[in-house]
Structure 1
Amino acid sequence: MSNPPGPYPQGNPPYPNGQQPPYPQGQPQNPQQSAYGSGQQGPYPQNPQGPYQGAPSAQPTSAYPTQTYATTGQPTPTSPYAQTAPPAKKPRSRGRVIGWIAAAVVVLLLVAGGIVGSVVGTQANAPEREVEEYLNALIAGDAEDALAVSNAEAGDADVLLTDDVYGDTDDRISGYEVGEAEISGDTAEVPVEITQGDESYDATFTLEKAGKAFVVFDTWSLQAPELGVVTYSVSGPEDTAVTVSGVDTTGVAAADGAVALPALPGTYTVALAGESEYLAAEPLTVTVLGFGADAATSVNAAGEESTALTVTLTDAAVTAGEEAVEAYIDTCAASTDFRPEGCPFTAQGETPGYEYTNCVWTLDPRPTFTIGEYDDGEWPVSTDSSGSASLECDVRDPGSGATGTATAGPMGVDVGGAITAFGEDGATYAP
């Protein structure tokens, strides 16, 4: 009987380079010196022929069976070295450990993020931030933004609280240092040291709670601080147009003869509007240092504190006024009446029934005078030195036909009255 076919061609396993199997004759030459070492038994200690269970007359050609499957009816042999190993320890799951670590990190990050978020949220909504935003707007000349931050609404008199005006205003706030807010209930007070021009001063801003941000953080609303006020009155005609830092304030109603304009910190100039041929006024300089009713200081050109814009006459106006007075005198002198109406001289003592003709007034000398400063709606005229007037008339007695010359004077001549207006035709004089 032949060997059962194995998995290798020709019934033998292949060996490279022509090498022989460990048991070239199908068994070791010396069972005591096998491939398992000196003194060691081979894998089949009771049968040097190995576990082959084929027919008795046939032996395998190798120490290893060439048939990978057991012969029909025979059990599959087990290795004589097989031992039952103790159960291996189940390795700890690295994934679970990493998961716990990741979870811990997430918790730490959430806690840290919550702390940081709380700090950032609190800082972003702190009352100091509102004050800083307000002051930054003032530094930048953004009056309208400042009004918005302070929740103030502009009125008719707030002509100075615009970006166009405040952006060009000199001596605005240039720096500040915010202190720590003092919070009491729903109110917070923030102290600030402010730098303006060459001056430094302290100010306190008040805020009220306005609600919540993200349901957690208190928000604050800045209460509009009391502003300084640029105040002026005009010592001049009622219709005098005035500008403050270039803004026409004609449309702002005066109260008790004065115009009051709320103003942010800075320096403002009060002056006549445009150029006038007849009227002039030295401008007022108003410095608003900080906030509050006492923040504004107004001085005139001489450096004296004053809120009155005094309108004076130009040289052309003075000349026009003098010409008006002289014209009046001339009109009176040209009269042929004994008592020229509205004139500063008059004659008395006519003889009833006589006829007076060719009456002539002579002024020698003429009076001199001065046009004074504006007062109560006019520029008063006062006499410096009196003049002298004389009258000479032809006289006739109708009863006798006799004729002669009648005279009156000399008499003093003074002028008064005032210059009441100026226009295209010059000055208007009211004696």
Structure 2
Amino acid sequence: MIPYGRQDISEEDIEAVERVLRSDFLTQGPVIPAFERKFCDYTGANHAVAVNSATSALHIACLALDLGPGDILWTVPNTFVASANCAYYCGATVDFVDIDPDTRNMDVSALEAKLDGAAHAGCLPKIVVPVHFAGQSCDMRAIAELAKRYGFQVIEDASHAVGGSYADKRIGGCQFSEITIFSFHPVKIITTGEGGLALTNNAELAERMDLYRSHGVTRDASLMESPLKGPWYYEQVALGFNYRMTDLQAGLGLSQMQRLDAFTKKRNELAQTYNSLLQELPIGLPHQSFDTYSAWHLYTVLIPQPANRDVVFQEMREKGVGVNVHYIPVHLQPFYKKRGFKEGMFPYAEAHGNKTLTLPLHPNLTAEQQTHVVSALGEAIS
């Protein structure tokens, strides 16, 4: 089976993890801050906080921005559930903004219209979470302008987009947001096994996220209520969590970072090959905005009527192609339907969810495999 996504682990990666195994620290050692500094250097952000997953990063980002009961977070339905769930972790509620049918990212026009209505109703969001679907940035400049006008804060869910760019700047620099989130799951651009990262230019937000990732416990005298009694002394000053990344994960991540640009370059080449090979088929191809350089985490096509996406999915699997679906709209999950969301509320996201099919895309995909994917798709549609 040709997988839709797969990690690329080199001998150098293995050696990097082995060095950590032979060191004095397996966790809470020097490799984690080195990994964080590497990402600051790469993106231009001032601060980075490494954690055990992007979901954890979303949670502590919301906590750092004081999201809580009575507050509302908006995101898109076309994402993994974590982009919305992080609000409920904080006791807040969630609403959604429909997607642009071309980019499949948050529709800025729909966002503006919804904000205008919310302003009149007195229920504006505290946080908006644009999701860089498949690796392509949202229109962050326009979203940032709306944030200034309506007074909300922005968390970029860039879980798909490490290595990508927007407006000639690497994603993660937080030029248009308070916090940016990356994921290092094995199917993402680089991996730490599991892992995530929160980037920010705000020192206070970084300090708060650092506190929340480690039980709310600190050895920083400036944060303590009592005088520092010795190097052994610590205080719990907030209700935090054990969201720490290990040095083993960070060691792998540091090694993978050496190939990040090569990975994204290869993914772009594979996407262009798909664009060329698939242009004769009656399907919808991904659209790329002129001011973005996608990390190409996913290559998704739209299966039009009268072909049935679910039938095409099954036939592709039978032909040895590990296609997938990204995503079932979040608001149609049972958990969210119990909270009042219904079919028909976000038609573009729902249409996408019914037609989308994710084709294999990863750096080790061969030309022969890619040709087989395209051939199998053509046969399944016909």
The structure where strand makes up a greater share of residues is 1
Structure-1-length-normalised TM-score:
0.17
The structure where helix makes up a greater share of residues is 2
Structure-2-length-normalised TM-score:
0.19
Pick the structure with greater CA Rg.
1
Higher relative contact order (CA 8 A, sep 6+): 2
